[in-house]
Structure 1
Amino acid sequence: MPERLVISIDAMGGDHGPPVAIAGAALALERMAGRDVSFLLHGDKVQIEAEVAKHPALKSRCEIRHTDLVIAAEEKAAQALRRGKGSSIWNAVDCVKRGEASAAVSGGNTGALMAISKLLLRMVGGVERPAAVASWPTLRGVTAVLDVGANIASDAAQLMEFAIMGEAFHCAVHGRPGERTTVGLLNVGSEEQKGSEAVREAHRLLRAHDLGFDYYGFVEGNDIAMGTVDVVVTDGFTGNAVLKTGEGMARFFTAILRDTLTSSPMAKAGGLLAAGALRKMKARLDPSSVNGGPLLGLNGTVVKSHGGADAKGFANAIKIAADLAASDYATRIEQNMERLTAVIDARQPAEAAS
């Protein structure tokens, strides 16, 4: 019988707090029918109980852990570390550290969640820094893009770590059985001489060594939506800019299409005829359908939900957390990090001799 999955939830995080977090947990429970899942809900007991009462099926599958302390969205990571112990974010992650929960989910302060998670859980063997990953809908399915904001700048070794972590994530959540994952490095062109020194060095090493996946080479921004590769690797500054641009363009196209289809009686009639197809298109472009960015590389599963996510989006973040926690994701990272360590160790004597 499968082991019970316990998901630890910061119910106070995000723009909406308990109403969205609890509704999201109830929806996730419904979507994961047949799986043995329960929840630890951290935050104000009175507010959480009021929301749980609206979802009878959730009542027997959750435990409320009260705390009055909440980390505000505007607090700096250093401040959150100083005063964060006992907060809803801290307690949610601490349950993973102590083995009470399989994974933690929060829509709260990203910097605080990252700092607290790294402090409490530490890193998987060999990984230097955690990375935030986004699931990007494409013409071929879903592409994992990382880093999308955890690290502003990254050297070649870190980019290779991101590739390893992204491959493990994609296999656990979006992978197809029997297929090797393809990984590409985001660049300003496909030519060998283009890009920063870090990107060119990572490209050379990824091409020369087998790290457990198929390295495609350089990809450009347009390749992401085309689904050219399963995993796109970049630094956090570029990745975050790309992610926010993509989200903005999705909303732009949706708004333009809505305005166009309501601009005249004829357009409205055409919209009614195409209503089914338009609903499918809207669902594919809906950010909530891919909400949930795991902090990869931690010695435990932590998933960041978008602060403005609705219940549907929060439920998706919970499902990603459950899928990761139930997978061999951490083992895959450790195995491929051993290969990367061998590559780096072999490179150092050669560099010293040159």
Structure 2
Amino acid sequence: MSALLEVRDLTVDFAGRPAPRAVDGVALSVAARERLAIVGESGSGKSQLLLACTGLLAANGSARGPVRFEGREILGNARSAAAARGRGIGFVFQDASGSLTPHRRIGDQLVEVAMASAGTGRRAAVDAAVEMLGRVRLAEPASLMARYPHELSGGMRQRVAIALMARPRILFADDPTTALDVTVQADILALLAQLCEDLGMALLIVTHDLGIVAALADRVAVMYAGRVVEVGMAAALLSRPRHPYTAGLLAAVPRLGGRGELATIPGAPPAPGEWFRGCRFAPRCPHRAEHCGVDDPVLAGPAARGVACHFPHTGSDTA
């Protein structure tokens, strides 16, 4: 299956920030209708990866490496990236306020997007805006058109932000439930899953919540210190992790009825300016050997299941 989005050897640097890079040599792809989750601790490079792919990095950031959407290169060309966002890439931020203009009515913003993306007249755009508000499960969508963002709850604003994406080929979602109540989180996840199904939309979602991965993702890429250390089908990776970092993340998930203290991963990720050799996870790894601190492991394995580790868990899984 050909890739809808293809990223190869992507790096992200920030002026004035010493090594390690925020994103360092990441490669991934997303097929049409596929749902790929990127997981990892805060600071692992997940969000910067999404921002780089859409040309939304901060002014002091720079990205290098091919990023192709529908076969067209979009990295390094602001016009191409903007065109891709307009015709087929949607982006939902952690805080929906980043997607909404506070002093403009909801309806005006939705109509503007509908007119620009579909090339329709205003009357058709109004109808499309009301229809999309209903699709994201907001009650009385016609009346919502006259309201301002500050008049809505956090969950409602996130739904409006999703509606603003109209009908993208792929939706980039940067931890879209992190600031919401648990019950609202579940509603937003169910909404994303339904939209993927109804619109034939692919999804690239960043999260630190492995519960979201289990509920929503087809495949998972695990990031640590700017690199992908494991990738695989969600069910296989969550049940049989091969990288010790992935295993540590899973062991730290609270479980209903669990007893005793939660497992933790000792130590901390590399800090900006911290120089190192070999595996970046080695200082925290319970299975490290001498050469782990010298030789840098590369992501290797079957196309559907890769791991960057000198001593990966070797279960029977190859899925």
Q: TM-score, normalised by structure 1?
A: 0.26
Give the structure, 1 or 2, with the largest relative contact order (CA under 8 Å, sep 6 or more): 1
Q: TM-score, normalised by structure 2?
A: 0.28
More helix by share: 1
More strand by share: 2
